[in-house]
Amino acid sequence: MSERLIYLPLGGAGEIGMNAYVYGYGAPGKERLILVDLGVTFGDMEGSPGIDLIMPDLTWLEANRDRLEGIFITHGHEDHLGAVAHLWSRLNVPIYARKFTGTLCRLKLEEAGIPADTVQIVGPRPEVTELGPFKVQYVPVSHSIPESAALVIDTPAGRVVHTGDFKLDGTPIVGDPFDPVMWHDIANEGPGVKVLTCDSTNVFSSHPGRSEAVLAAPILDWVVAQKNMVVATTFASNIARLKTLSEAAIAADRKVCLLGRAMRRMVSVGLETGILTDFPNTIGPDEAANMPRNKVMLLVTGSQGERRAASAQLSRGRYLGLSLKEGDSFLFSSKTIPGNERSVGRIMNALSEKGIELYDGDDGLFHVSGHANRPDIEAMHDLLKPEIVLPMHGEHRHLREHMNIARSKGIASMIATNGMMVDLTGKAPRVVDQVETGRLYLDGNVLIGAMDGVVRDRIRMALNGHALVSVIVDEDDNPIPDAWVELSGLPGRTRGGADLGEHIEGELAEFLETADRKTVRDDAKIEEAVRKITRQVSMEEIGKKPEVSVIISRLMAE
């Protein structure tokens, strides 16, 4: 059988977050593999309470790791590199990244006790990294973090362009501007582009994307107009935005104070790697607290409403000696990611209660997106003229819309979601396998499977409450009729005012007193009966069936 080029997303295709895309080339089942990105997504109370980080289940890749050549990281966002430190030991191959991204990655690996030299720093095109049948070039693109890159992946079956997260920005403030000539060359070298694997995040935004540079004037006007303390929040990694905000502060005769560990880290890595030059001097929180309020701008983390970030802390009260007051101004130089509306709203309202004037990016004056909008995505299609477009980095509906756009131009396209192995060798993509995929949850410091039932049980307890019953069976196999019931997350009183726990205990006593020996000798039977009675009594008394845990203790004759 001849060799083939395959694509296998393990995360990020059918969701925004947790990116992990496999490419392979070789004889079927023996393809040599590379992995592009290894990111996380974040848990939420609704779907994964108690879980901070979610990452792709790499079972398939682990089983085939002798075929894996390396991991290429496109840029430094958590949804592209956040899982590396947690999962690298299961793969144990070299990691490739450009300097800024690689430095961020090394910091994470070092915290996890993995040697920094696991990450190899590579330069942008024309530098080529050759790994097995792959020749990989990093092509600078603009995004909301410096040094984002598309990958040009040359294989014997043709050229793949994997955009990573990108926008078309001729004036990105930090990093390389969009270079149409370079992209023209990429499109026209040799037989051209076979496959374009392309960011779909903003496919529903119908206006052309705007440059980072358009924000400078409105932000400066805004800072100049403020009378008291000025606070601005954005993603810590959006260094271009931090620069624009800081320069506006300096121009308005204010000092800049960075609050939040992530923000200080990003700026320092930016300076250290040379991607950031002439960033204004900053002052510490102590100094800021002693300056006149109209001489300071705080640049703070927490634009997405994160509970422990600086924005949230300031909205609740004093933080590192600083506090906000009536007449201060707070700018969200950001867009709220869908799903975070309530958390962000909570902070905005808490600030409003303190008398602080709020400003946000909604009318476009104070924020631009880091992703290509629909016209920009189309421009990329037109520029690269690929045979095949594979939409990625999107929920299913984003991928569908992106596929429809490609097909309307006569380009072959399909929706390949996590676990679908696609053969790209022919004129059109073709599904050749479906591998098992899933999600891993980092719970405390343990990685558990999303389907293990741990989180399901948490959700059930949260929705239904939890009744605990302790049953004791004595040495002679007689149950002690006084079962003990403890309720957690349940109303103690029924509608009529009775004690729910006592009521359940009463019904259980009746059962235990009359239970036959066969039942009493069988833990499963006792448990089933106790659970049924507890749920039934609760349903009658409070209209709700709780989760029930039963502990049966059998006393032993000494």
State the number of CA atoms in the 13 A half-sphere of 483 facing the CB. 32
Nearer to a second copy, 220 or 350 (CB): 350
456-466 core/surface letters (b: 16 or more CB in 10 A; e: else): eebeebeebbb
Find the binding residues for a second copy in span 332-361 (CB under 8 A). Answer: 338-339, 341-342, 345, 348-353, 357-358
Angular region, 450: left φ>0, alpha ψ -120 to 50, beta rest: alpha
Q: Rounded CA gap, 170 and 167, in Å?
A: 10
109 three-state secondary structure: helix
Please, what is the minimum distance in Å from the beta carbon of residue 344 to a second copy? 9
Please, what is the minimum distance in Å from the beta carbon of residue 327 to a second copy? 12
326 touching a second copy, by CB under 8 A: no
Neighbours of 55 (CB within 10 A): 24
Q: Hey, what amino acid is at 31? A: E
Identified binder of a second copy from the candidate list 59, 294, 494, 519, rule CB under 8 A: 494
290 touching a second copy, by CB under 8 A: no
547 touching a second copy, by CB under 8 A: yes
423 touches 388 (CB < 8 A): no
512 touches 477 (CB < 8 A): no
Nearer to a second copy, 173 or 442 (CB): 442
Point out which span in 61-69, 118-126, 154-162, 490-498 binds a second copy (CB under 8 A).
490-498
The number of residues in the chain equals: 558
529 touching a second copy, by CB under 8 A: no
544 touching a second copy, by CB under 8 A: yes
317 touching a second copy, by CB under 8 A: no
Nearer to a second copy, 382 or 475 (CB): 475
Q: Cis link prior to 126 (omega < 30° from 0)?
A: yes
Task: Output DSSP code: residue 39.
Answer: -
Point out which span in 79-87, 101-109, 171-179, 486-494 binds a second copy (CB under 8 A).
486-494
Per-residue binding letters, 399-438, with a second copy (x by CB under 8 A): xx--------------------------------------
450 touching a second copy, by CB under 8 A: no
* Helix-strand-coil split of the chain, %, nearest 5: 35, 25, 40
396 touching a second copy, by CB under 8 A: yes
382 three-state secondary structure: helix
Please, what is the minimum distance in Å from the beta carbon of residue 446 to a second copy? 5
Point out which span in 108-116, 163-171, 307-315, 441-449 binds a second copy (CB under 8 A).
441-449
Binding residue count for a second copy, defined by CB under 8 A: 71
Identified binder of a second copy from the candidate list 464, 481, 499, 509, rule CB under 8 A: 464
153 touches 160 (CB < 8 A): yes
